[in-house]
Amino acid sequence: MDDFPFPELESDAPAIARFVTRENARTEAAFGGPARAAEEAALRSILEAPDDIWHLARRGSFIYTFRQTADHPRGRWLRLPEAVPITPEAPWETVFDLDAFCAGTGRLWDWRGTQTNPFNAAQVLIQLSEESSDLTRSVEFDLERCSFVPGGFDIGPDRSEARWEGPDSLLLASAAPGDATRSGWPGALRRLKRGGKREEASLLLRTDDDNLEVSGWVSRLGGRELFAVHLEYKAIGKARVTLLRAGRGPVVLPNPPDTIPAFNHAFCAWVASEEGVHPSGTLVISRHDGSDERILFAPRAGGAVRSPDLVFAGDWLVWTEMRQLVPHIMALDTRRVDATPQEIIPPVVADTMRVLPFDTQPDLSDGTLVLTATGYLTPMQYWLFDLSKGVEGIGFRLLHAAPGRFDASGCEVALWSARSDDGVQIPYHVVLPRGHAGRGDLAVLLHGYGGFGISLDPGYRALTGKAWIERGGAYVEAHIRGGGEFGPGWHEPAKGAGRQRSFADFAAVAADLVARGITTQGHVACHGISNGGLLCGVMLTRYPERFGAVWANVGVHDMLNFTRFPAGRAWIDEYGDPDDPEAREWLRAYSPLHNIPDRPLPPALIDTHERDDRVDPSHARRFAAALRAAGHQPFYMEHRGGHGGGGASFETAREMALGFAFLRWALKLDQ
């Protein structure tokens, strides 16, 4: 096989149309019918439930959420006066109707959130994705009138990011032609004034073309002085932060260049990601100039602190410390030089807990924080609290508890581990269905990711619960290396030439499930998305005997050519550069497209999205075509949408119903 097989499936529109039409029809013929239609309707009813509230935030005196319903499948942005209890019958006010906007513009848009002026709760930018792609449009919106501002700011759609600098100016991280980095992300930070032309916006910062992107915003950071914050991302998870104040020179925060810090008006905290002055995984805090440095957490076996879990709330630093995958919420009062970290005792016990600001505008916040708590069998709960009286004086208030969406009676959650081929123990969570005792033939769905330091944390998977667990299937999430479950020391060994560790870990979990006697070899299916789709592609081509089915969603299957597409250059730090001869050899060794074996393979569903501009759909098209050319019979589906799928509830339900219909057929779950 040559290094770039089936090139027509990248850019030849007629060839692509013929391939997609033929393959989609074949897959629909195999898994269509009344049973799948009923499943799709059941999943859609979950996504459109009137009491489905999946995110809550306060802006001014209102609580806001975004919700999809049967009559508004693309969704509405809603708000409720803070004093009104959150119930299904609560009088939510429609702020913005996305379905009506799409109908009015004659184009499909998906919700991507908002940017709020840090000093004016009524002034926001609504962010919309063009057909679920990474191209975002930012449009000025007035929350007092609940309408777009005539002649107001209107940026994109492109990969730029806009944030408020003042009532009449934006800090624009620009990805316009001439400003974008080689990865296609914003490479220039500009000041765009009201009424000004975008191409004339003044330049504040330009990063190196080989860096990932830039960003910027303004904030008082919990203090009195106004800061301008400029960020240069060297790669995913690596940022240089510069703070600017009127009348003072710029201050570059002291965190190592391979980390992303959290910071307030006086302090900076980070988790060391590589061995250096501090061991990898160390949580460090210091002042902006690097003085008064302290170690708050030293890495140890089974323990970790993760950078995304660091939150400054005024003068308090709050973080989640994981101990054998059990979360513990910690806090430090930075005003006291003799203060030691204190544990916050939560109001509930949950597999996953996080602390986030409740307000969209930290500079106008009263210090309220929200604790989210969830687990595989525990729907999301939102608890409010603050630290005004210290850790000892915390009083939690339940804001909202989501209802259950599937029958979890008799189900159990266990934490087991498998021995990888180098002897390292790989933990994994397993959700066992009711009636599992004494059975050795469970249909098992094994999910994984294993990359970019991203953790697979326990969460309430409502659609998986309804379509799989409730029907008697077991669900497993593997915490393999490459992820961030145990901090940088779990991620770094699986980067570059070490990527094989992720694959060996995942295959070891599949084998361990059989060895424990809960299933047999042909009854384990695997599923992964994006980098997880790559993982599943490797399982199909390298470990086919361990699986009864493979579902690879929006996977990176061509590891020799992923940098042909601009977004792929952002992954060089993770995978290696295929233009480097040494890296090309280790990439070739596992690239699914280039390692299709001449032996029987389990049933496979290779699916992607037509507007995916992050992992180009030609990865999946060419992989499916190569499998078929080698004599295999994969199923292929190209859905509408971008990397995250279609934005409407019915699109998500349709895609998930197809995937689970395939899995149940392959593993004979319904027989």
pLDDT digits (tens, 9 = 90+) for 188-223: 999 999 999 999 999 999 999 999 999 999 999 999
Q: Which of 140, 172, 121, 124 is nearest to 361 (CA)?
A: 121
Residue 437 has pLDDT above 80, yes or no: no
What pLDDT score does 577 carry?
Answer: 98
Residue 372 has pLDDT above 90, yes or no: yes
Euclidean distance between CA atoms 618 and 608, whole angstroms: 9
Measured over the CA atoms of residue 42, residue 48, residue 49 and residue 53, the dihedral's sign is positive
Euclidean distance between CA atoms 18 and 11, whole angstroms: 13
The contacts of residue 11 (CB under 8 Å, 6+ apart) are 618
Mean pLDDT across the chain: 96
Measured over the CA atoms of residue 594, residue 600, residue 604 and residue 610, the dihedral's sign is positive
Instruction: Name the phi and psi angles at 628, rounded to 5.
Output: -65, -40
pTM comes to 0.97
Give 246's pLDDT tier (boundaries 50, 70, 90): confident
Q: In the numeric block, which tokens belong to residue 229?
A: 């914050």
Say what percent of the chain tops pLDDT 70: 100
Rounded alpha-carbon distances, angstroms, from residue 296 to 40, 302, 321: 48, 17, 11
Q: Which residues pair with 526 in a beta bridge?
A: 446, 550
Q: Which residues pair with 162 in a beta bridge?
A: 172
Angle 22-27-33 from CA coordinates, rounded to 5° = 125
Q: Whose structure tokens read 């930018």? A: 125
What pLDDT score does 88 carry?
Answer: 73
Q: Which of 391, 405, 409, 251 is nearest to 328 (CA)?
A: 391
Q: Which of 341, 408, 342 is nearest to 374 (CA)?
A: 408
Give 48's pLDDT tier (boundaries 50, 70, 90): very high
pLDDT digits (tens, 9 = 90+) for 137-159: 999 999 999 999 999 999 999 99
Give 1's pLDDT tier (boundaries 50, 70, 90): low
pLDDT digits (tens, 9 = 90+) for 301-337: 899 999 999 999 999 999 999 999 999 999 999 999 8
Residue 125 has pLDDT above 90, yes or no: yes
Residue 438 has pLDDT above 90, yes or no: no
**For the chain, which residues make up each domain, given as ranges?**
8-31+405-667, 55-157
What pLDDT score does 258 carry?
Answer: 86
Q: Which of 237, 193, 192, 239 is nearest to 214 (CA)?
A: 239
User: 140: helix, coil or strand?
Assistant: strand
Q: In the numeric block, which tokens belong to residue 558?
A: 């061509």
Q: Which of 671, 558, 566, 529 is nearest to 623 (CA)?
A: 558
Mean pLDDT for 40-65 is 94
Euclidean distance between CA atoms 36 and 457, whole angstroms: 29
Give 460's pLDDT tier (boundaries 50, 70, 90): very high
User: What is the CA 208 to chain-centroid distance, rounded?
Assistant: 26
Topology at the third CATH level for domain 8-31+405-667: Rossmann fold (3.40.50)
What pLDDT score does 578 carry?
Answer: 98
Q: In the numeric block, which tokens belong to residue 473?
A: 């299937």
157: preceding bond cis by omega (within 30 degrees): yes
Which of 357-366, 431-440, 464-473, 596-605 has the weakest average pLDDT? 431-440
